[in-house]
Structure 1
Amino acid sequence: MKRSALPLHATRMAALALALVTLAGCDTLNDWFASDRVNYKATSIAPPLNVPSDLQTTQTQEKYVAPPANLALGGAPTRAVTAAGNATEGVPNAQDPLGMHIERDGDHRWLVVDGRTPEQLWPQLQEFWQENGFALKTDAPATGIMTTDWAENRANIPDDWFRRTIGKVVDFAYSSGTRDSFRTLVSRGPNEATDISITHSAMEEMLTGQDKTSSRWVERPRDPALEALFLDKLMQKFGLTDAQSKQLITDARPATAPVTVDVAGGAATLDLQESFDRAWLRVGLALDRTNFAVDNRDREKGIYYVRYADSMQELKKEGLLGKLFYSGNSKKPAQEFLVNVRPKGDTLTQVAVVDANGQVDTSSDAQHIVSLLHAQLN
């Protein structure tokens, strides 16, 4: 654990006080869009583990390799030019003059890029996270799942007089006491569009003991404003101006539909009053807002493979400091659940937790997942 050049309790209490003052003043998304609110590029990452010379590196399956920048049909697609003069990744149309728009479900937003496939946008998403200072932990274009490793937002460290002087020499010793990770879900949407969502996860180092000289990591709530900030940055990478991207976030289109519970045979399922395409996306977003992580998904079968996500264990194993101190004796892998999204008609979709045979799972754990999804989808 990195230590501040100041005593641990003094640094942490100063950071907490600054955070409370900052949160009190952040009443709008515009506060988050200031250029100094995020800085992950200065984060130091533990060195990679070396493979012994007598062992061969495991070959990656071809289906999990990201598509090359020069796609089969003549390289990356040419950007379209909007009426406003932007060269954008999205293809402009009557509904979307900029070739893209933002939709929202509650406090969760996602980007819809018109006329582009997930395969065409994937290399740029890789570049986007790397340019913002993140290493990728999961990079699976076959499933549309991309997650970053845990990283520290250096902008959260108080910029006091001591750091501005002594910190110029020992700035690496300062720590904000927080770690962030982001999951990107990339889905093939209707009408030849691509849906891109970004979900934030966070951990915080809390002081413990009477003298506050020890600490432990605890989970923090996701930050919708931070998610919106990275969507804003992503739209600018895709060709929009700062003003255009912020306006699209302000004008986010609501994408909600009624959700009802259907109880039959002692097991609850959910009915969504919308098409499979839209329900598939909303269920993925809802799962991201629970403590269940999506490890894999199969759109053709309508299955999300999920497990309970223990952020503490993930931080220990794969965080900035965990690679140095984690012993490797992990707990037994969490049980996997299958969340099935299946159409019951053109405008009705059923959501259920099923077993390996496709039958509705009546266990208490499965029904708990259904209850969580119902709460999130409403």
Structure 2
Amino acid sequence: MLANTRNVLQFPVLMLMAGSMSACSWLGIGGEDGWLRDREGEYLEARIMPPMQIPPGLDSFTIDELYHIPELPPGDRAIYVTPPAPKPIDTRIREGVVVQRFGDRAWIVIGATAGQVWPTLRDYWSAEDVAIVMENPVQGVLETAWLPQSGTNLRHKYRVQLEPGLHAGNSEIYVRHISDTGESPESMPISWPAESQNLERETAILASISLYLADRTDIYRASSVSMLAGSIELQGKARLIDAGPNNTQIELRLDFERAWSQMTQAINNANIEIVDSAREERRINVAFTGTENQEDPGFFGRLFGRGNDEVTRIDFIVRLIENGDRISVQAETLSGESAPYEQDLLIRTINDNLI
């Protein structure tokens, strides 16, 4: 009796579901032409449309091509039947804004990609009511108009460079300043010096930009992203190279002066003891315990005798070797004995603490 009742109830339910599905197609909701249709693969048939034309007199400052299609390079290219998997997310990304300094050089480090930073960087100049006369988001470069200094015949101009940081997912911002007395035409190309003519003005702009970026917490949620600036190289300036046992290395795309400063800072950040260093010999001697955290043991560690005296200490020589425009960071034990696990962990720990 229960089975018959269940069969009787199933029939009208199935009829109602079938009617609903046909009604969805009839109303234009489902089916091949409905707005709930399967859209998989439709992007393959997308057409390239002409750029949006902004009427004269209206501001096109915030208009970007969201999905830039680059020109095809010459030569043979790899054809993917199945698209490759996306690159893994770098876990060393630190949200926040830091102004780094080395000698007379200074730059901003921010834990966001170039595609995330670029729109906010442009917004900064708009908020300051400063016109941008040249911008190239693919190269990460923009230049301001000449800014007159009140009470004098001087005028000032700034160039901003956006580059990848040491690690993927981080970005660096550089500012360069130049001034003149107004003798050159506004449209005349600028020959930018290697360093700012006025470091105080460069420092002031860097501080102002860093404060503006620090207040824009939405930058990390990618509420506005430039796809053009997103084409800036994603590979960071620091790269781990696994060249075999006892030979894990860091490759830095930096000049030696900055590489030395960054390595010293990273070793200190990792709480690794620096025993000795010789800049002219390009080496740093460190004492490494083979653990990622070399801080003093806690209360229970001291209570049960697990102190630093039971931790194996290995002395390493960290060398910075120039190879063209790159620096190779290598480590070897002072005794010459093999310690592949500790050598690999030492290099990785230093790399993780590069900022």
TM surpasses 0.5: no
TM-score scaled to structure 2, two decimals?
Answer: 0.33
Is the radius of gyration larger for structure 1 or structure 2?
2
Return the structure number with greater relative CO, CA threshold 8 A, min gap 6: 1
Structure with more of its chain in strand, by fraction? 1
